[in-house]
DNA sequence: TAGATTGTTAATCGATTAACAATC
DNA sequence: TAGATTGTTAATCGATTAACAATC
C-alpha cells in the first residue's frame, strides 16, 4: 500500500489482471504449493515480476523477502479485494442463448462470488423453463423481485435494440451496477456502475492483426530492389 | 497517418474503440446522416473529440475541416482497417452453451466479417446436431476440415481443463489466430495470434468497485473530529 | 553468510489531452 | 467572412519497467 490514504482505487489494468493471478494461485494451492514468488508467477504468466509485485500490493498483502507470499494468504487477499470472498446476488435479463449460457455457468458462484438468482424474459415460451437450475420469470416480475431480495447487480443479455430499456428497468428497480453483454453504449445515471463485455472490441484486436499480417508486407521504400 | 511507414500497428486501446465508432456510424447511416464530426461522435459516446480524431486517423481516413467525415466513407475505412469488409471463416471447438451461443449469433458475419463455419465437440450426443444452422462435427474431423478449407482462425469454447489441448490441436492443424473464451492462459508458439475473452477480468472491475462502495468510507484520519 | 526476493522510489514509455495553425 | 472543424505538435498524465536499499 503506497498511499497513506485507503487505496483510492487501484489502476484498472491491475484490477483486470488480479483474476489471472487468482486462477494460477488456486491451481498452485490444489497442487499443494505453499509459497510463491513474483518471479515464479511472472514466468508462468509471462508478465513482468515488478508489475506483479505492484499489482499484488493493492490488495494489502505483505510478502517476505527471500520467501515470497503464502499462497492461501495471497488468495484470500485477492478475493477480499475483489469482494469474491462473499457471494453477491444478481438478476439477469434476457434468456436467449447467451443469457442461458451465463446462467448455466455454475463456477461463477464459487470462483467469482457471483450468484445469478434468476433470469427474466418477455418471451412467454421461455417463462417457467429453467436454465442451470435457475428459474426464468416474466419481465414484469423483475422490479418486484429485485426490491424484495435487495439485489443491486443486474446482467443484461438482451439484443442490442432492447438493451437501453432493459437498463432503464433495472435502474428503476434499484439496481446499482450493471454487467452489460449487449453491444450498445448505455445511457445511465452517474451513480450506476457499468461494465461492458464487448465481443466486437476483442475480435477487432484479432482481426486487425490478422488483416495486417495478410497485407502485402510494407515494402522497403524505393521500388523494386533485389538484395544480394 | 502520422508515420511515413505503413502504420506500424495502431495502439491497442484505439483498435478496441474502433468497433464502438463503427456501431454508431452504422446507426447514423441508417438514420440517413451523411456527415459527422468528431465533436458529435464524442458527445454520443462520451469520449474526448481529439482522441476520436487520432483514433480515426489510423484507418487512413481524411476528413474535411468545418465539415467532418462522410459517414459511408468512414464506415468503409474502419471496416477495411479491421478487415471486416471481407468475411473470414472460422472453426469453433466446444459446442457447450457458450459455443452454441456464439454459433447462433448470426450478426458476426454481417457486422464483424466473421463466418463460423462449423463447430466440433467430442461429446457424441452433440454430433450431428446443428446450432444456428451450423453443423457440429466430431473433434477428429477438425484438422481435416481446417486444412481442406484453408481456415486459420479458431475459436475455443471448451472448459478450462481442455483448453490447452484444444489449442494444441488447432495449432497443429494450421490455425494462425485463436479467439479464446476459456479462462486459461494458453501456451502457444510465438507466431500464433491469441486474443482472450476473460469474463473474470471484466467482472473483477465491477465487483471491486461495488465492494469499494460498500466498504466503510475511508474516515478522515485523526479519530473523532467534529468540523464546524 | 550470501543470495533471493520484497517494497519503493526513479526513469521510461505510451496514451490521453491540450494547444494551435491550416482550411473549407 | 467568421466559425467550426480537421490534422498535428506539444504537454500531461498514468502505467510499466528499471534500479536499489532493506531483509529474511
Please report, rounded to whole angstroms, the spatial distance between the CA atom of protein residue B49 and the C1' atom of nucleotide D5. 11
Going by C-alpha positions, the residue among A200, A19, A196, A166 that lies closest to residue A107 is A19
User: Would you call B188 an interface residue with chain A, using a CB distance cutoff of 8 Å?
Assistant: no
Task: Indicate yes or no: strand C within 7 A of the C-beta of A94.
Answer: no
What's the mean pLDDT in A157-179?
A: 98
Instruction: Please tell me whether residue B4 adopts helix, strand or coil conformation.
Output: coil
- Confidence check: pLDDT of B171 > 80: yes
User: Would you call B179 an interface residue with chain A, using a CB distance cutoff of 8 Å?
Assistant: yes
Residues 6+ apart with CB under 8 A from B40: B68
What pTM, to 2 d.p., does this model score?
0.92
- For chain B, what is the mean pLDDT? 91
- Confidence check: pLDDT of B161 > 70: yes
Nearest CA in chain B to A12: B205
Task: Indicate yes or no: strand C within 7 A of the C-beta of A25.
Answer: no
Q: Which nucleotides of D are covered by protein (CB under 7 A)?
A: 3-9, 14-19, 22-24
Q: Kindly state the percentage of chain B with pLDDT values over 90.
A: 86
- Confidence check: pLDDT of B224 > 80: no
User: Would you call A185 an interface residue with chain B, using a CB distance cutoff of 8 Å?
Assistant: yes
The confidence score (pLDDT) of residue A91 equals 98
The lowest-confidence range among A141-150, B119-128, B207-216 is B207-216
- Confidence check: pLDDT of B192 > 50: yes
The confidence score (pLDDT) of residue A214 equals 78
- Confidence check: pLDDT of B213 > 50: yes
Please report, rounded to whole angstroms, the spatial distance between the CA atom of protein residue A66 and the C1' atom of nucleotide D21. 14
What's the mean pLDDT in A213-223?
A: 56
Going by C-alpha positions, the residue among A78, A82, A92, A80 that lies closest to residue A179 is A92
The lowest-confidence range among A125-134, A170-179, B153-162 is A125-134
Please report, rounded to whole angstroms, the spatial distance between the CA atom of protein residue B56 and the C1' atom of nucleotide C5. 45
What's the mean pLDDT in B164-182?
A: 98
Task: State the Cα angle at A39 between A33 and A44, rounded to 5°.
Answer: 70
- Confidence check: pLDDT of B167 > 90: yes
User: Would you call A223 an interface residue with chain B, using a CB distance cutoff of 8 Å?
Assistant: no
* Chain A residues lying within 8 Å of B196, measured CB to CB: 202
Instruction: Please tell me whether residue B97 adopts helix, strand or coil conformation.
Output: helix
Q: Kindly state the percentage of chain A with pLDDT values over 90.
A: 86
What's the mean pLDDT in B54-72?
A: 96
A14-57 pLDDT per residue, tens: 999 999 999 999 999 999 999 999 999 999 999 999 999 999 99
Please report, rounded to whole angstroms, the spatial distance between the CA atom of protein residue A4 and the C1' atom of nucleotide C3. 32
Alpha-carbon span A158 to A155, nearest angstrom: 9
Q: Do A207 and B176 touch (CB under 8 A)?
A: no
Which cell goes with B2?
A: 502520422
Nearest CA-CA distance, residue A64 and chain B, Å = 26
Please report, rounded to whole angstroms, the spatial distance between the CA atom of protein residue B135 and the C1' atom of nucleotide C15. 44
The confidence score (pLDDT) of residue A98 equals 96
Task: Indicate yes or no: strand C within 7 A of the C-beta of B47.
Answer: yes
Nearest CA-CA distance, residue B50 and chain A, Å = 19
Nearest CA in chain B to A45: B185
Alpha-carbon span B16 to B12, nearest angstrom: 6
- Confidence check: pLDDT of B7 > 50: no
Task: Indicate yes or no: strand C within 7 A of the C-beta of A54.
Answer: yes
- Confidence check: pLDDT of B142 > 80: yes
The confidence score (pLDDT) of residue A151 equals 97
What DSSP designation does A217 have?
A: P
| Residue count of chain A | 228
The confidence score (pLDDT) of residue B214 equals 79
- Confidence check: pLDDT of B186 > 90: yes
The confidence score (pLDDT) of residue B217 equals 54
What DSSP designation does B140 have?
A: G
The confidence score (pLDDT) of residue B123 equals 96
| Beta-bridge partners for B121 | B138
Alpha-carbon span B73 to A110, nearest angstrom: 48
Alpha-carbon span B14 to A224, nearest angstrom: 33
Environment class of residue B220 by beta-carbon count within 10 Å: exposed (0-12), middle (13-18) or buried (19+)? exposed
- Confidence check: pLDDT of B228 > 50: no
User: Would you call A218 an interface residue with chain B, using a CB distance cutoff of 8 Å?
Assistant: yes
Task: Indicate yes or no: strand C within 7 A of the C-beta of A11.
Answer: no
What's the mean pLDDT in B63-80?
A: 97
A61-74 pLDDT per residue, tens: 999 999 999 999 99
- Confidence check: pLDDT of B222 > 70: no
For chain B, positions 130-149, list CB contacts with chain A under 8 A: none
Given pLDDT bands bounded at 50, 70 and 90, which one contains residue A174? Answer: very high
Amino acid at each position: 500500500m503506497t498511499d497513506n490514504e485507503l487505496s483510492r482505487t487501484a489502476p484498472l489494468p491491475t484490477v483486470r489482471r488480479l483474476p489471472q493471478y487468482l486462477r494460477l494461485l488456486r491451481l498452485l494451492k490444489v497442487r499443494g504449493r505453499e509459497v510463491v514468488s513474483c518471479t515464479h508467477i511472472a514466468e508462468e504468466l509471462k508478465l513482468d515480476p515488478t508489475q506483479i509485485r505492484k499489482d499484488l500490493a493493492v490488495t494489502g498483502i505483505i510478502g517476505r523477502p527471500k520467501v515470497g507470499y503464502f499462497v492461501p494468504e495471497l488468495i484470500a487477499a485477492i478475493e477480499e479485494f475483489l469482494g469474491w470472498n462473499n457471494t453477491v446476488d444478481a438478476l439477469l435479463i434476457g434468456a436467449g442463448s447467451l443469457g442461458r449460457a451465463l446462467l448455466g455457468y455454475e463456477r461463477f458462484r464459487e470462483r467469482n462470488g457471483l450468484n445469478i438468482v434468476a433470469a427474466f424474459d418477455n418471451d412467454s415460451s421461455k417463462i417457467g423453463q429453467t436454465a442451470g437450475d435457475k428459474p426464468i420469470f416474466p419481465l414484469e416480475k423483475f422490479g418486484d423481485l429485485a426490491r424484495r431480495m435487495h439485489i443491486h447487480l443486474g446482467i443484461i443479455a438482451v439484443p442490442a435494440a432492447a438493451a437501453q430499456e432493459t437498463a432503464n428497468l433495472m435502474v428503476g428497480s434499484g439496481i446499482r451496477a450493471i454487467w452489460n453483454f449487449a453491444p450498445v453504449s448505455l445511457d445511465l445515471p452517474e451513480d450506476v456502475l457499468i461494465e461492458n463485455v464487448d465481443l466486437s472490441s476483442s475480435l477487432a484486436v484479432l482481426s486487425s492483426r490478422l488483416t495486417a499480417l495478410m497485407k502485402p508486407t510494407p515494402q522497403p521504400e524505393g521500388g523494386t530492389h533485389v538484395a544480394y
